[in-house]
Structure 1
Amino acid sequence: MITTYQTKIIHQSDKAKIEWIEEGKIVRKTFTGFIIGEEMKAAFNAGLACLQKNKGRKWLSDNRYVKVYKQEDSDWINNVWFPQTKKAGWKYWAVLEPKDFYGQMSMNRFIKDFAQQGIILKIFHEMDQAVEWLQGVD
């Protein structure tokens, strides 16, 4: 099991950071606050492009500081981003659960829907545990 890792920043904005963890071929998405519209879409699309380029199958969502998503952004995630990302080979998802109650409710819908569509996921509260789990799956 690899216990150390370095990240390479793929995309960054005020409320989003997308990183690549080569040790395990993991995209790590970190959102903070109330992220909407084009800023959110650009971050998700940067992660998708990174998965495609590197033939990755693992995604880590650091959502500890996420608030709720707007309905139109949730719809875009479900109807545009998710199908493309799954088609690109996404299989494993580690989620650091939001601390905000409304953020948790928003994430729980994605967790349920994505799991029903074949994504293997686990919920974590610590970054190192999430990375370790992803490094340990195929």
Structure 2
Amino acid sequence: MADTESFLRLETDRPHHLLVLHWQDFVPSETYREGMLEGIQISRREGMENWIMDMKLMKVIRQADQEWTIASWFPQFQLLGVKRLAFVVSDDIFNQMAVSSMIATLRPRFQAEVEYFQELPAALRWAQENGGGSSVSSLFSVK
């Protein structure tokens, strides 16, 4: 990541209707929630049907933020009609446990295909299937 002080960088790949959220470090609650909601806004505005949550460098997600994700963020996410959601698995075991717990709770309500990847390039290939060329642009960064 170019800016090592950032907690989040959002990028779009418009030809593939793809939004990528690159998370890093131990993200403060306010920043986590702001970033997740910004993802919703970008998806609504630009018709993003595929998401990648790149959590490779992200640390644990606070319990309160996990609960907020399930109760407040997920219902808004469902309304977007996202078709594919990829997770690039964190190197942090506590983040892995938090994400697994949230997905286990939400799995019965998911309309999107959900896949897990160890590396971003594999997640990008999967999320970009059935699309054209790539035109990635950086949209948003949170410090």
TM-score range, shorter chain: 0.7 to 0.9
1:1-138 correspondence to structure 2 within 5 Å: 14-118=6-110, 119-136=112-129
Give the residue type in structure 2 aligned to 1:22: R
- Unaligned segments of structure 1, at least 5 residues: 1-12
Bigger RCO (CA 8 Å, 6+ sep)? 2
Give the superposition deviation at 1:112.
2.2
Question: How many Å separate the matches in 2 of 1:41 and 1:135?
Answer: 26
Percent of matched pairs sharing the same residue: 21
The normalised TM-score by structure 2 is: 0.80
Distance 1:42 1:69, change over 3 A: same
The 1:75–1:24 alpha-carbon spacing in structure 2 relative to 1, beyond 3 Å, is: same
In the alignment, structure 2 segments of 5+ residues that lack a partner are 132-143
1:81-114 Cα distance to aligned partner (Å, 9 max, x none): 1110111212311110011111111111123233
Q: Matched residues in 1 for 2:128 and 2:105: separation?
A: 24
Report SS of the residue matched to 1:122: strand
Per-residue CA shift, 1:45-79, capped at 9, x if unaligned? 11111110112221100001111111111111111
Give, in whole Å, the separation in 2 of the partners of 1:91 and 1:113. 19
Q: TM-score, normalised by structure 1?
A: 0.83
Output the CA distance in 2 between the equivalents of 1:79 and 1:107.
15
Bigger mean CA deviation after superposition, 91-100 or 109-118: 109-118
Aligned residue type for 2:17: K
Report if aligned partners of 1:67, 1:102 keep a CA contact under 8 Å in 2. Answer: yes
3-state SS in 2 of match to 1:136: coil
Q: RMSD of aligned C-alpha atoms? A: 1.7
Q: Give the Cα–Cα distance (whole angstroms) in 2 for the partners of residues 136 and 112 of structure 1.
A: 26
Equivalent-residue separation in structure 1 for 2:46 and 2:33 (angstroms):
20
